[in-house]
Structure 1
Amino acid sequence: MNLPIKRFSTATVIIAAFLGGVAVGRLDVQTLKPALRTTASSSPRLTAPGELPAPLDTDQMREVWDVLHDKFSGPLEDERLARGALRGIVAGTGDPYSAYADPEESKQFEEDLDGAFSGIGIEIGLRRSLVTVIAPLRGSPAERVGIRARDVIVKIDGQSVDQRITLADIVSKIRGKPGTTVRLTIAREGGEELLDFTVRRERIAIESVKLELRDGLALLMISAFNEDTPRRVDQAARELLATRARGIVLDLRNNPGGLLDVGVAVAGHFLPRGTLVVEEVPRQGLPRTENRTDGPGDLVSLPLVVLVNGGSASASEILAAAFQEQRDISVIGERTFGKGSVQELVKLSDGATVRVTVARWHTPRGREIDEQGIAPSIEVKDENPTEDPDEILEKGFEVLRQRVRP
């Protein structure tokens, strides 16, 4: 029986582990066959319920299995072969955000959504078939050494990253025990030479929400939309109202997304109850789903500006677009990442998970942003994001000051 399904829109370093293609993996064929039938599908089928299509016929799978065991020159691990076959089935969709994860990878992913893990603090994903840094987490080891959004990872500890290495393998190489180091070789957009960064791993605890008050104006930083984010935003909203803040700079830079429902809940503080935030558009023939605010709307009256950059993805883009279209809010910074799809995480009977794209999302006015991103209302390039002055942040406060009441 399937456990509860989580619905999310994100791209993080552990999610990247789910993006791998056909990894060499294994289990006995008779163990593999039931796993393929664990979840039911509402898709049109070419085979009767319970039947596998011809290419998955167990006799043919046994033939391939036997060929490998008879002919392959190296050692084989049955469980790894079978897990690889499961990965390959999902990879056959051609969708980089749909993937199978084994029980251990699934456990790591759940830790990420809870907001804590060990590593260097980056989110990675596939962009134009290249392993790309979506964003370094704020204050993380990766950010401190100068790794940036849209950097392409070329080597890990001197080993080239190519199509023979799955993203699951890449994640396992980057992660490790706190105190150890990993060397990343990076290709940077616009740069002519490769860059080497040696990063010391740490225990990363994601503090998803931070609030600062500056001369009556608030800086609300949201770095992820995880399980704890709604509670933290509720606390921040109460503090803002208690201190009579006159306006808010909402910083969504380097926020890769997270749980879709959490993003909509956060929007409920800034938009009136019942406001459309995002529309999910599934495959043809299925009804669309409107996600509307059900929150207190307690911050609606405060002037607001939103900061974004190339590391703002998924749920961050959903919020930025909704604020642009529903409140005519100024979005300041750089064009966002451009991930316009929604995934469901379905847990299987053995603890493994299948992450499947179930819909594309449209902004309230029907815009699609996949591979395009959200264009800022006011574009500000920040060439050195880890150094002062923070040009995007300064512009945000400048615009906000023009809008607050004296």
Structure 2
Amino acid sequence: MFLRIKKKYFIPAILSIFLFIGVSFKDDFFEISKQLEIFTTLFKTINQNYVDETNPAELMDKAIKSMLADLDPYTNYFNEQDVIKFKINNTGEYTGIGAIITRKEDKLIIKEPYKGFPADKAGLKAGDEITQIGDVMLSDFKDDASQLLKGVKNTKIEIKYLRQGKPMTTQLILDEVEVKAVPFFGKVDDKTGYIVLSQFSQKASSQTKEALEKLKADGATQIILDLRGNPGGLLNEAVTICNLFVPKGEVIVTTKSKNEKYNNVYKTNREPIDTIIPLVILVDGKSASASEIVSGALQDLDRAVILGSRSFGKGLVQRPIDMTYGTQVKVTISRYYTPSGRCIQALNYNKKDKSGKATKTEEKNYNAFKTKKGRPVFDGGGVLPDVEIAETKTSMIADALQKNDGIFNYVTYFYYKNPTLGDKIPTLTDSDFADFKAFLKREKTDINTETEIALKNTLEKAKKENIDTAIQSEYEQLLAALQRSEATMIDKNQKEIKNLMLDEIIKRYQYKEGLYQYYIKNNIEIKKAVGILNNTAEYNKILKI
């Protein structure tokens, strides 16, 4: 009887599934075709009938980018110029000046020159303001000015810039620049190796492997892998880096999508370097994507102790897809899941609040999962470290002082005020901190916390509605109260701000390499990591070994 009933209803059920899929596909295809036809007609009508001359390429570029902005911040369209520009993201190699730069009004600001590369050789320093590149005045050039600093190797470019307000000139000679995935590795002590992994480019795993092997050959019997500030990169490189520490055939990450071809299970496929060497991984709120694959997977496999503060929470996978005329779209194609089955995506871009911002999963709604040895871990908001360090969490006021370049600009002033400091590490005193606050006041630096920005935006809207006069007095009182509160917050977070100032000061005199050398002797997270590694009982207890 059971078999007969099963036969009777099984075939119609299968047919109904195929019918549903077929209807669904037809409906989707029709809706896409319909909307595409509407947009094409609109685009053609606007360009043919608008009162002034239009730029079809510019209009299309804006239309596409505005449409994608409604999805998530990782799904992006790249026109022909964008595709060339973003080569550095995947390879870590490009021809240029070897410096981090940023645009500010009609100038390019040197944020950090890399030691031994063209900008450094030309004598450019952090804080220098480039005003002219070749014959191009940046005040007249509104496009991406960084492209003016790229070209064929050995190209010579004349530069005009301001240093502390003084006009200066120099000549840049372009060269190949490799941004190392592992910018530093060394020994903290006789037995502790330290590896900084700053990005997951194509050479990330090979450079990490080389560092690990050299440290082991030099006597390291325990390792600290620093992923703080690492924004991620290539998924395959993350899997291969995990493979250095876990056996062949281990599941590291699974991707799931509505599109079946993007459903994949990524396993280690090589023989490891060392499956038993004690390992601590450092993460913070800027460790994202591939950094979270490595830290999340090695946490789930009970292979490493994770230390620091909760990671960023990016559990989405992107894939670049080539399109016509040299353009490209980077699409979020799937979510990734760590070996325990958790997705650590923090924001839900499919569900937005009234202001249009993606919603965040509340902690009470996190789901619990188990590591290989049964330790509880959770989804919903980044990788939560096994050992949290309160000092690694940045305050709102410190974030604001970094975003508005308050710390950066003060350190530029400090650098030229103290030209002979050299390799000495200064101790920042209360007097130095008072000097910093006086500098912010003297330079009329807007702190620009989110609250301050919102208040200023309110006044701008009031001006448009001609009601600003009526609220001007109350606005000024509220702004003054807010600024007093910000001043109090700066004092309250003096220790954190001093540490950020000191980091920037060390980079000015000793480059990034000097900062890492300072870290291995003084950084609180590294000290805590060494303490755990040196305490076998504590290390084993955390990992349930």
What TM-score bracket applies, with the shorter chain setting the length? 0.5 to 0.7
The share of aligned pairs that are identical, in percent, is 26
In structure 2, the partner of 1:232 is: 207
Is 1:96–2:73 an aligned residue pair? yes
Question: After superposition, where does 1:51-62 map in structure 2 within 5 Å?
Answer: 53-57=33-37, 61-62=40-41
Separation in 2, partners of 1:339, 1:403: 32
In structure 2, the partner of 1:70 is: 49
In structure 2, the partner of 1:378 is: 387
Is 1:207–2:175 an aligned residue pair? no
Separation in 1, partners of 2:222, 2:212: 12
Separation in 1, partners of 2:280, 2:296: 12
Please say if residues 120 and 175 of structure 1, whose CA atoms lie closer than 8 Å, have aligned partners that are also in contact.
no
Separation in 2, partners of 1:324, 1:137: 34
Q: Secondary structure at the match of 2:86?
A: helix
- Alpha carbons of structure 1 residues 349 and 175: separation in structure 2 relative to 1, 3 Å: closer
Separation in 1, partners of 2:242, 2:29: 44
Is 1:267–2:267 an aligned residue pair? no
Deviation, 1:235, is 1.7
Separation in 1, partners of 2:314, 2:143: 20
In structure 1, the partner of 2:225 is: 250
- Alpha carbons of structure 1 residues 44 and 97: separation in structure 2 relative to 1, 3 Å: farther
Separation in 2, partners of 1:68, 1:219: 59
- Alpha carbons of structure 1 residues 138 and 358: separation in structure 2 relative to 1, 3 Å: farther
Deviation, 1:68, is 4.6
Please say if residues 246 and 303 of structure 2, whose CA atoms lie closer than 8 Å, have aligned partners that are also in contact.
no
- Alpha carbons of structure 1 residues 304 and 110: separation in structure 2 relative to 1, 3 Å: same
Deviation, 1:52, is 5.4
Please say if residues 250 and 268 of structure 2, whose CA atoms lie closer than 8 Å, have aligned partners that are also in contact.
yes
In structure 2, the partner of 1:152 is: none
Amino acid corresponding to residue 53 of structure 1 in structure 2:
S
Aligned length: 305
Separation in 1, partners of 2:143, 2:292: 25
Greater RCO structure (CA 8 Å; 6+ sep) = 1
Separation in 1, partners of 2:287, 2:523: 16
Please say if residues 262 and 334 of structure 2, whose CA atoms lie closer than 8 Å, have aligned partners that are also in contact.
no
Q: Secondary structure at the match of 2:335?
A: strand
Separation in 2, partners of 1:231, 1:171: 37
Separation in 2, partners of 1:240, 1:44: 56
Cα offsets for 1:101-156 (capped at 9, x unmatched): 11211112122221145686499xxxxxxxxxxxx999799xx979xxxxxxxxxx
Is 1:302–2:301 an aligned residue pair? no
Deviation, 1:243, is 2.2
- Alpha carbons of structure 1 residues 332 and 139: separation in structure 2 relative to 1, 3 Å: farther
Question: After superposition, where does 1:53-202 map in structure 2 within 5 Å?
Answer: 53-57=33-37, 61-71=40-50, 73=52, 75-88=53-66, 90-91=68-69, 94-116=71-93, 121=100, 172=144, 177=149
- Alpha carbons of structure 1 residues 176 and 391: separation in structure 2 relative to 1, 3 Å: farther
Please say if residues 115 and 206 of structure 1, whose CA atoms lie closer than 8 Å, have aligned partners that are also in contact.
yes
In structure 2, the partner of 1:21 is: none
Q: Secondary structure at the match of 1:343?
A: strand
Separation in 1, partners of 2:144, 2:252: 36
Q: Secondary structure at the match of 2:535?
A: helix
RMSD: 3.7
Amino acid corresponding to residue 179 of structure 2 in structure 1:
I
Separation in 2, partners of 1:54, 1:219: 57
In structure 1, the partner of 2:286 is: 311
Separation in 2, partners of 1:180, 1:88: 36
Please say if residues 138 and 254 of structure 1, whose CA atoms lie closer than 8 Å, have aligned partners that are also in contact.
no
Is 1:361–2:332 an aligned residue pair? no
Please say if residues 46 and 53 of structure 1, whose CA atoms lie closer than 8 Å, have aligned partners that are also in contact.
no
- Alpha carbons of structure 1 residues 95 and 391: separation in structure 2 relative to 1, 3 Å: same
- Alpha carbons of structure 1 residues 287 and 332: separation in structure 2 relative to 1, 3 Å: same
Please say if residues 286 and 311 of structure 2, whose CA atoms lie closer than 8 Å, have aligned partners that are also in contact.
yes
Deviation, 1:176, is 6.6
Please say if residues 289 and 316 of structure 2, whose CA atoms lie closer than 8 Å, have aligned partners that are also in contact.
yes
Q: Which one has the bigger helix percentage?
A: 2
Separation in 2, partners of 1:218, 1:394: 12
Q: Secondary structure at the match of 1:302?
A: coil
Amino acid corresponding to residue 57 of structure 1 in structure 2:
E
**Structure 2, unaligned runs of 5 or more:** 1-23, 103-110, 120-124, 132-141, 151-158, 163-171, 347-380, 393-495, 504-517, 540-545
Cα offsets for 1:234-280 (capped at 9, x unmatched): 32233133223110000011111111001101110011111111111
Kindly name which structure, 1 or 2, has the bigger radius of gyration based on alpha carbons. 2
Deviation, 1:47, is 5.8
Q: Secondary structure at the match of 2:331?
A: strand
Separation in 2, partners of 1:340, 1:393: 26
- Alpha carbons of structure 1 residues 114 and 181: separation in structure 2 relative to 1, 3 Å: farther
- Alpha carbons of structure 1 residues 296 and 282: separation in structure 2 relative to 1, 3 Å: same
TM-score normalised to the size of structure 2?
A: 0.49
Question: After superposition, where does 1:270-349 map in structure 2 within 5 Å?
Answer: 270-283=245-258, 288-349=263-324
Separation in 2, partners of 1:212, 1:176: 37
Separation in 2, partners of 1:56, 1:68: 17
Separation in 1, partners of 2:299, 2:46: 58
Separation in 2, partners of 1:306, 1:400: 11
Amino acid corresponding to residue 399 of structure 1 in structure 2:
I
Q: Secondary structure at the match of 2:255?
A: strand
Separation in 2, partners of 1:272, 1:122: 41
Please say if residues 137 and 223 of structure 1, whose CA atoms lie closer than 8 Å, have aligned partners that are also in contact.
no
Amino acid corresponding to residue 306 of structure 1 in structure 2:
I
Amino acid corresponding to residue 82 of structure 1 in structure 2:
M
TM-score normalised to the size of structure 1?
A: 0.65
Please say if residues 120 and 174 of structure 1, whose CA atoms lie closer than 8 Å, have aligned partners that are also in contact.
no
Q: Secondary structure at the match of 2:27?
A: coil
